[in-house]
Every structure is written in C-alpha cells, then in structure tokens.
Amino acid sequence: MQRRLLVASGIICLILLSAITSHAQYYFGQNKIQYTRFDWQVLTTEHFNIYFYPEEKEIADAAAQLAEESYDFLQEKFNHTIEKKVPFIVYSSPVFFEQTNIIPGLLPENVAGFTEFFKQRVVIPFNGSFADFAKVVRHELVHVFTMQKIAYVAKMHRRTSVATPPLWFTEGLAEYWSDGWDSQADMFMRDMTISGRIVSVDELYSISGTFLMYKVGQSLLKHIGETYGDDKLADLFDNWWKGKTFSDNIRITYGKTLSEIGAEWEYDLKKTYYPYLQDQELPDRIADKLTRDGYNLKPAIFTRNTVDGPKEFIAFKTYRMGYSKIAEMPLEGEKSHFKTLIKGGRSEQFESLHFTESGLDANDDGMLAFASKNQESDALYIYDTDRRKIVNKIKSDSLIAISSPAWSPDGASIVIEGMTRGGRSDLYLVDIESSSFSRLTNDIYTDKNPSFSHDGQFIAFSSDRGISGRNGARNLYLYHLDSGKISGLTSGDHIDSYPQWTKDDKRIVFCSDRAGVMNLFILDRLTESSIVSHQLTNFVTGIFDPVLASSDSSVVFSAYQNFGFHIYKMDLPDSSKYDLDEPVEIADLWNAGETWKMPKLDGQLAQGSAKYKTQLSFDIAQSAVSYDALGGTMGGLQFAMTDILGNHQWYFLLYNTANTKSDFLSSVNFGATYMNKTRRVNFGAGIFHFYNEYAENYYGYVAERTYGGLLAASYPISRYRRLETSLYLRKLEKQSTISNDPARRTNATTGTMTISYIKDTSIWDPTGPIEGTRVNIGMTQSVRLKDLNYYNSTYNVDFRRYFRLGQASAYASRFMYLHSAGQDKQRYYLGGSWSLRGYPRREFYANNMLLVNNEIRFPLVNDLFIGFPFGNMRFQAIRGALFFDVGNSWETNKEMAENPDYGSKGVVGSLGFGIRASLGYVTVLRFDFSRRTDFKSVQNKYDFDFFFGWNF
C-alpha cells in the first residue's frame, strides 16, 4: 500500500509540479526568463528547417548556407545521408539563446550551442563573429551525424543497444571536424605537455565536461585522423555494432587498443612540444605572477591616492569559489592585498560579468568601467574605486550586449563593443553625461577590444573585416574619430588583438598568434604612413589582455600556464631582441574594399520560408507495469509532447491501480497539463483524476479520490526571484477504510488558491548548496465552493542561508515553519536525514512544524576511486558535516494532541557529525551520527542513519 502511495504520489507530484514551471518542480531553483517574444519563421532548405525571427534574417540565411555546406562535408566524412530535415534554431545573440525553452535548465554562459537528443534539434546563438558561428554550426552538425549514424548502424544490424561513445570522443570529433587546429587549441596542449601532466586516455574521465576535455579530445582525434586517415573514423562508425564497448570498436577498427593509440598520441605530443622549450619560455620564468588562486583575466590599471602617495592598483576579473568577481590588488600582487569589488552571478544587478568576453578599463580618476548582464540586456557600469561603489549605470534600448569598455582620455566618453538585437557587433561611443550612444561602425564585421589613443583622435581595435576574416582572422585597425574613416594597422591570416597605446601614442602593444600562440608584439609608428611590428615575448603558452603600467615601463597581462590563467607583470621587453619585421606602408595594409561578404543562401538550396506554426511531437513516452504482493498490480504510461521551440508543453499521465476487474474504471488515474512558456509569465492549465488507497497516520487506511482542474502562473522577477500562483478547483472524497468515524471522512468541493515567493541565489558544490540564499514563502487558502466558506489553509516559511567559509566549506542554516489550519488539515512529518537528524524519518506528525538546522560543511576527500569486483566507483567529493538541529512539532487537533504517538514532545534537538559522498549528478550518500537532546540532557550513544539526497 505504502509503496503504491509512494509511487502514485511521486508520479502525481512529478506530473503536476513539473508541469507548472520547470523551476517549481525543484521547490527552489533559479529562473530562465523569456524576456522577448519572438516572431518565429521557418526557412526550409534541402536538409534543414531553419527557425529564425525577422531581426536576424541575414544570420538565418548565412546559417542555412553554412549548414548545407557542412552537411555535404559531413556526409562525406561519415559516409552517411540524413533523410529527415534537421531542425536548426538560430538566435541572434547569446542573451536570447539563454532564453530558449528547448531544454528546461539554465544554460551556462559559455555554451556556444547544443544539440538536443530527443528531437535532434540544433540550437545555436550568433555571437557577432561569422567564423565562430560557422564553427559552431559544423560542430553541432557533427553531433547530429554522430547520433544518427550510430543509431542507423545499430538498427541496420539489428542491435537494440550499442556502446555509448565517451564524451571526450564526441566532443573531440566535433572540434576536430569543425575547428581546424588553432592557436588556442595549441596553447592548451603545449601547456599540458610541457607541465608534465598529460591527461592519458585512461584518465579522461577526470576532465569530463571541461573545456580542456574538448581540446584534449580534439588533439586525440587529430592524431587518429592524421595517422590513420579520416576514412578510418568512418569505418569506426560502420563497425559500431560489432563491439560491446567503445574500446572494442576501436580495437576492431584500428587493430590496436585505445591505450596503445593513446600512448602513441602522448609520444607525439612530447615530440612536438618539448623542443619548444629550447627557444621559448614559460610565463612564470620571465614575469612576476601576481595572482594565486582561481582563473584570472582582464587586468586594468588604476591609481589610488594612498598614505604613501599615488599608487597603482590592478583591477581584474577572477573566477574563484564558483563565480566570477572583479577584484583589486596592488602591482606587487594579491599576496599583499586582495579585495573583492564586485561579485558576479550573485545578484540581479550583476547577473553575469561575462568573465572571458569582456574587459575592464579604468581612467585617471580611478573610475572603473565594466559591463554586466542586468535583466535581459547588458548595462555599462562605472565603479568608483575610491568610494567603492557604483556611480553610474547606462543601458541602451537597442543594444542587447555590451563589452570591453575603454575610456577616452578626457574621461567624458567610453568606447564599447555593442551588439544589436539583430546580432551585429560594432563599436559605439557612450557619452557619460548624457548616457547617449553613437554608433561608430555599422557592418557585419565583428569589432573588438577598442582602445583610445591618448590624444583622443583614434581608436585602435581588432576586427575580422580583412580578407581572411571569414576564416576567423582578426587584425588591428584604426578608427579616425574626426572622419569616421577606418585604416589598417596589421594584416595576415592570424589573430591580432588587445591593442594598447603607449603614452606618446607612437607605439601600440598588442597580442598576436602570428608566431604560433598568443604573444606580445609592439607596433612602432615610424611615420604617419608606415609602421613596423616587433615581437616582444616568446612564451610557449599564450598571453592575453596586456595593459601598460608604470608610465609604460612595465606591462601587466594574463597568461595561461599549468591549466590556469593568472595575472603577470614584467618590464616591457626590449623590442630589439627578436627579429624585426619589415616596415610596411599603412596604405598597403588594407582598404575598405578588401573584405569579405556574408554568404547568402544559394537560390537552389532555399525551398522557401513561412511563418512558424506550432506542431507538437513526442519528447518522451514511458510505460511501466508493477506488481506488489500486498498492493497488487499497477500499470500506466506517461508522455510529454512539445513543439519544436519548446514553448508549448503537454504532459500526460495515465495509470490504473485497480485490484479487481470491477474496480477498473473507478481506479483510472489521469492527468493532463499544458504549459505555455512563450512569455515572461509562464502559465498553464490542467485536469486530473486520481484514486488511491494508502496508509496515513491520522486516517489510518484511506481511500481517496480527487479530481478537478488547475490554473497556474509563474512570474520571474529576475533570474533569482519569482512569484508563483495557482488555482485548483477539485472534488475530494476521502475516507478511512477501517473506521466509520465521521471525523475521518472528507467530502468537499473546494477552490484553492496558492501563492509563493521564491528566491534562490545558491551556488552548489557536489553535495549541495555552499553559498547564497534560498527562500520559499507561501500560503494556500481553500474555500468550499458551495457556500464559499473557509475550508482550510497552509502557511510555509523556508529560509536557508549559506555563509562561505572557504573553497569547499560553509556554514549552512535553515529555518522552516509549516502550519496548516481548518478542515482536513495537512500534516507534516518531521524526522530523518532530510529534516531533524537523529530521529527516525516521520517520527513526528502534526499540523505545525518548526525546524532549525545548523551545519558546518567542510571537505574531507576530493576524489576517491574504488575498484570493486563489479566495476569501479568514483566518489567525486566526500564532505564532512557538523550539525546541530532543533525541532518541534505540535498538533492543534485535540484528539491527536492527546495521542502519545502524535502529540507534541516539546522542543527536541540533535547534534552530531556526518559524511556525504557525491555520486556525480545521481545523488549523494549520507551517513549521519547523531546524539539526541531534549535540552535537559544529551543522549550518550550515537544513532547512525544512512540515507541519500543532497544537502539542504
């Protein structure tokens, strides 16, 4: 009986609660907000349906052309033809992409695109760069081909299950066949090899899901492709049905084990990269490393008046503790002083600091300019480093994204890289006083890293407008503020970026990968019409974000080494150390005619476009039948249907709990819910009928039938806060099957209104929240529909706060109060590992509950791998906990209050310690050792409890 209750309740909860909002099913959770309602259209080509909105038609055309080109390329690589048109959903900006309903969860910021498994929808944003877009299109199509090819081969050979490819392989293959080997990939592999920490093929699980895994996978696949031929990779897929595991398939195809191929690859890496150390250096051998922890980028120099006089400080971005920040330190480094200025991802004001994409800049007055996401679009913030507060915030109605601000020398304006709703990335000048935006460039080319000259006449910037820009090359250009003209400073099929002027405006320091990986270069403006560039550094890994300090005598930059980014400082190198390039005439470098065009869709490929029509298709369908010796049989099915964009969602549940044929009709349970997520307010409606028999502490054995309908809505105030409300109209018939007591019988038709306020700023570690706040405050009110008289009500307050003590440690507290009143009260269980520890689960049962938890969480073991006879098990994080819980549960029903089993036992508590072992995304194993207290004495012995589930 109880098992059926568990299953039935679980199903009901899942279907109803999950249908309301994707976040409500988690009781807390952060919000994905549909700020914008798009007017979707569909462009049909030979192999794709491209979903787009009118503002991004140009991008959609390019996507269609790129997709068809990639299709041809991958058809040859995979030896496979995809018959059904692939759905391709394009967003003109990462900001809009994050609003997609195709997957329910929040998308991390740096996701460049994804391929959804059920309907194999490809969803990608345009980030301003055509070359990046082309790579992502192909990358995602590799996933489509991979999934379809494996499924096809399995079906053709009558295999119901085949080996699953490891993530490093699928992502590595996607990178290999889309990216080409670039300086960034080379940088990662150089560092990994030279640091002596090559991740072998047997250890790839340890970097699963990281960016490093992508590059290591790409390197491995590149080795395999170049050594054995890409045609062999096609053979690998054709052989997929033969082996039980991925390793079997490798052996069958290549005649070697994966470990053997891995060993070849490692040897190849060493042969390739070790010789670099002959002539090149590592950053920490030449420069002073200023930061100690985390990932650190985007330094900016500002001056502060101190007691010792004016002193230079570095503001920079750092990622530590699970979120990004802007921090400051002196030029000597963070060991002498480190202060957090702004926290990103912790509040609505600074929802995302765009850690890798956007730089910082400070002017002579110590005003720091940076961009951050604030609600739907980015805002430009000015932060006073002396007063340590925000002094200005500027937004534009037409710009969805802002990045890399740079001050003008007079401090009256800031040049930014801005992105429009249509996806165009251009330079804009922001007037600080009037908060107005003037557009400087207006074209399809991406313009990045602007930097004002000190005389205020020019802006140097990096752009892909040159002839090689279509392939991702970026060179340096000058914007002439007096005329609006653009002239070239560098050229070539490589990346030049981050220009920084010297104080006399005669030279520009910049980064370039023209010599392999990113190094520091300098441009000397010999005359008005000719320049020459010199290489200043010869690091074996890469350096970025240079900024000049100490009157141009030193340079501060970020560099990659030992799997991390840190800030370094060194004296500006002598430009005569390395070979000189030949001087070039500026006029020869580039002119506005030498550029590339956005590809237009070949007329033969286009089959027309039309307005988007909502058409539902299955996402998932499951059925199950179970038999219980006590409970009897139960069987049912559930399925979900959505449209291509995920905006319209239908959930259906149907099952039967009958024990006999005569009960069949009366035991039908069904639920149907519809959710609309096209707007900021997500709303839904549903109908249901449930019948169940189960055991319950107050009613005893109960037969309960409830049926009715519901309306629900959720309004996200911000990413972190939302309001939810719902209205249920239902008939409830409930009676004890073992007692005729009228008090244990309910027959009511009620209307119930619920309203909740939820806030969640939590950050998690593998075992649960470790920083932030979670709040859920709500109430329900029910009335009898026949006379609108009060029926019952509930109130809940759940307030949780997590105070960070260290990287993996925190003090966590929870205050929870639950109360129910009126007829047919709800009663709450108290006790167990999830609530009041030291007491059995469901020890207390009453209509009032109060619980206070206090816990210190700390790390014990970071990674534990145990080999069992049946296989290996990995515990990613083993944490310890010291806790002290207090609880009380009391009953207002007189009869129950007098029952020793249910009446209040007064305020009780427990203290103890626990161990939590994370099993990845699956669950957490919980081991608690507790001693009870009634606050008069403390129990001598420890009670042990084992359970599972994440920390509160």
Partner 1 sequence: MELLKKTFSLVILGGVIAAACGCGPSAPIVLKDRPDGCLWNHSGGSPERSSYSDISFSQQPGLLWVRKFKYPLHIEPTGALGFLLISTPDNKLHVVSANNGDIYAEISFKEPVMAPVVISDSMAVLNIGGYRLMVENWVDRQQLWEADLNGAGGEPLVLGDKLIWLDGMGYLRCFDISQGKRIWDRKIDRTVSAPVSGSELGILIFPDDGVLECFDPRSGRLLWSFDTGARIRNAPVIVEDQVIFCSADGQAARVNLVSGQTVWYHDLKLPVYGPIASDGQGVYFGTNNRFIVRLDFETGDIVWKNRIAGPVKAGPALTEQMAVFTSIDFNVYFVDKASGLVKNKFKTDGMISTRPITCQNKIFVVGEDMNLYCFGLPEE
Among candidate residues 825, 824, 830, 819, the one with its CA nearest the CA of residue 795: 819
Looking at the Cβ atoms of 235 and 696, the one nearer to partner 1 is 235
**Among residues 39, 76, 571, 588, which is the contact residue for partner 1, using CB under 8 A?**
76
Residue span binding partner 1 (CB under 8 A) among the ranges 77-85, 128-136, 470-478, 552-560: 77-85
Looking at the Cβ atoms of 255 and 742, the one nearer to partner 1 is 255
| Position 255 contacts partner 1 (CB under 8 A) | yes
| Position 156 contacts partner 1 (CB under 8 A) | yes
**Among residues 23, 80, 566, 879, which is the contact residue for partner 1, using CB under 8 A?**
80
> Considering the complex, what minimum distance in angstroms separates the CB of residue 268 from partner 1?
16
DSSP string, 288-344: EE---SSEEEEEEEEEEEETTEEEEEEEEEEEETTEEEEEEEETT-TTT--EEEEES
> Considering the complex, what minimum distance in angstroms separates the CB of residue 157 from partner 1?
5
Please return the burial class of 302, using the count of CB atoms within 10 Å of its CB with bins 0-12, 13-18 and 19+.
buried
520-539: which residues touch partner 1 (CB under 8 A)?
none
Instruction: Judge contact between 773 and 759, C-beta under 8 A.
Output: yes
Looking at the Cβ atoms of 162 and 212, the one nearer to partner 1 is 162
Residue 123 identity = V
Residue span binding partner 1 (CB under 8 A) among the ranges 204-212, 251-259, 437-445, 835-843: 251-259
> Considering the complex, what minimum distance in angstroms separates the CB of residue 258 from partner 1?
15
**Among residues 231, 504, 571, 594, which is the contact residue for partner 1, using CB under 8 A?**
231
Looking at the Cβ atoms of 82 and 522, the one nearer to partner 1 is 82
Residue span binding partner 1 (CB under 8 A) among the ranges 68-76, 832-840, 890-898, 932-940: 68-76
* Binding track over 175-214 against partner 1, x by CB under 8 A: ----------------------------------------
**Among residues 145, 254, 728, 845, which is the contact residue for partner 1, using CB under 8 A?**
254
Between CA 915 and CA 882 the distance in angstroms is 9
> Considering the complex, what minimum distance in angstroms separates the CB of residue 82 from partner 1?
10
* Binding track over 930-949 against partner 1, x by CB under 8 A: --------------------
> Considering the complex, what minimum distance in angstroms separates the CB of residue 329 from partner 1?
54
Q: Residue 166 carries which DSSP code?
A: P
| Position 232 contacts partner 1 (CB under 8 A) | yes
Report the first-to-last Cα separation within the chain, whole angstroms: 29
A 10 A CB-CB count for 867 gives 8
| Position 242 contacts partner 1 (CB under 8 A) | yes
Instruction: Judge contact between 875 and 860, C-beta under 8 A.
Output: no
> Considering the complex, what minimum distance in angstroms separates the CB of residue 153 from partner 1?
10
| Position 875 contacts partner 1 (CB under 8 A) | no
**Among residues 228, 563, 639, 701, which is the contact residue for partner 1, using CB under 8 A?**
228
**What strands lie across the sheet with 295-306, from one edge to the other?**
295-306, 309-320, 323-330, 339-343
> Considering the complex, what minimum distance in angstroms separates the CB of residue 68 from partner 1?
12
**Among residues 79, 471, 773, 904, which is the contact residue for partner 1, using CB under 8 A?**
79
A 10 A CB-CB count for 603 gives 6
Instruction: Judge contact between 228 and 236, C-beta under 8 A.
Output: no
> Considering the complex, what minimum distance in angstroms separates the CB of residue 147 from partner 1?
17
Looking at the Cβ atoms of 141 and 908, the one nearer to partner 1 is 141
Between CA 192 and CA 181 the distance in angstroms is 16
Residue span binding partner 1 (CB under 8 A) among the ranges 253-261, 597-605, 852-860, 904-912: 253-261
Among candidate residues 712, 727, 728, the one with its CA nearest the CA of residue 649: 712
Between CA 837 and CA 828 the distance in angstroms is 16
> Considering the complex, what minimum distance in angstroms separates the CB of residue 239 from partner 1?
8
Instruction: Judge contact between 657 and 628, C-beta under 8 A.
Output: no
Instruction: Judge contact between 388 and 381, C-beta under 8 A.
Output: no
User: Tokens representing 827?
Assistant: 């009663």
| Position 235 contacts partner 1 (CB under 8 A) | yes
Residue span binding partner 1 (CB under 8 A) among the ranges 3-11, 72-80, 274-282, 719-727: 72-80
Looking at the Cβ atoms of 254 and 890, the one nearer to partner 1 is 254
By CB under 8 A, the count of residues binding partner 1 is 19
**Among residues 2, 9, 81, 737, which is the contact residue for partner 1, using CB under 8 A?**
81
89-108: which residues touch partner 1 (CB under 8 A)?
none
| Position 679 contacts partner 1 (CB under 8 A) | no
Between CA 478 and CA 249 the distance in angstroms is 54
Instruction: Tell me which residue has tokens 């000189």.
Output: 580
**Residues in contact with 522: Cβ distance below 8 Å, sequence separation at least 6, in sequence order:** 507, 508, 509, 510, 533, 534, 536, 575
Among candidate residues 450, 365, 346, 362, the one with its CA nearest the CA of residue 402: 450
Between CA 177 and CA 174 the distance in angstroms is 5
| Position 571 contacts partner 1 (CB under 8 A) | no
**Among residues 147, 252, 797, 856, which is the contact residue for partner 1, using CB under 8 A?**
252
| Position 668 contacts partner 1 (CB under 8 A) | no
| Position 157 contacts partner 1 (CB under 8 A) | yes
How much of the chain is in helix, strand and coil states, percent to nearest 5?
20, 45, 35
Between CA 161 and CA 150 the distance in angstroms is 10
Instruction: Tell me which residue has tokens 């906990």.
Output: 881
Looking at the Cβ atoms of 228 and 596, the one nearer to partner 1 is 228
> Considering the complex, what minimum distance in angstroms separates the CB of residue 77 from partner 1?
9
Structure-derived torsion over alpha carbons of residues 854, 858, 860, 863, reported in degrees to the nearest 10 = 110
3 state DSSP class of 238:
helix
Looking at the Cβ atoms of 254 and 791, the one nearer to partner 1 is 254
Residue 168 to residues 246, 335, 465: CA-CA distances in angstroms? 12, 37, 34
| Position 85 contacts partner 1 (CB under 8 A) | no
> Considering the complex, what minimum distance in angstroms separates the CB of residue 141 from partner 1?
16
> Considering the complex, what minimum distance in angstroms separates the CB of residue 471 from partner 1?
20
Looking at the Cβ atoms of 158 and 613, the one nearer to partner 1 is 158
User: Tokens representing 793?
Assistant: 């009500």
Between CA 502 and CA 550 the distance in angstroms is 11
The angle at the Cα of 645, spanning 109 to 675, to the nearest 5 degrees, equals: 100
Between CA 160 and CA 582 the distance in angstroms is 64
Looking at the Cβ atoms of 234 and 723, the one nearer to partner 1 is 234
Between CA 300 and CA 405 the distance in angstroms is 11
> Considering the complex, what minimum distance in angstroms separates the CB of residue 131 from partner 1?
23
**Residues in contact with 226: Cβ distance below 8 Å, sequence separation at least 6, in sequence order:** none
Looking at the Cβ atoms of 254 and 688, the one nearer to partner 1 is 254
Looking at the Cβ atoms of 81 and 398, the one nearer to partner 1 is 81
Residue span binding partner 1 (CB under 8 A) among the ranges 70-78, 264-272, 633-641, 884-892: 70-78
Among candidate residues 848, 843, 814, the one with its CA nearest the CA of residue 828: 848
> Considering the complex, what minimum distance in angstroms separates the CB of residue 198 from partner 1?
25
User: Tokens representing 766?
Assistant: 């593998």
> Considering the complex, what minimum distance in angstroms separates the CB of residue 61 from partner 1?
22
Cα 914 → chain centroid: 30
> Considering the complex, what minimum distance in angstroms separates the CB of residue 472 from partner 1?
24
> Considering the complex, what minimum distance in angstroms separates the CB of residue 145 from partner 1?
12
> Considering the complex, what minimum distance in angstroms separates the CB of residue 79 from partner 1?
6
Residue 136 identity = V
Binding region for partner 1 (CB under 8 A): 72, 75-76, 79-81, 156-158, 228-229, 231-232, 235, 242, 252, 254-256
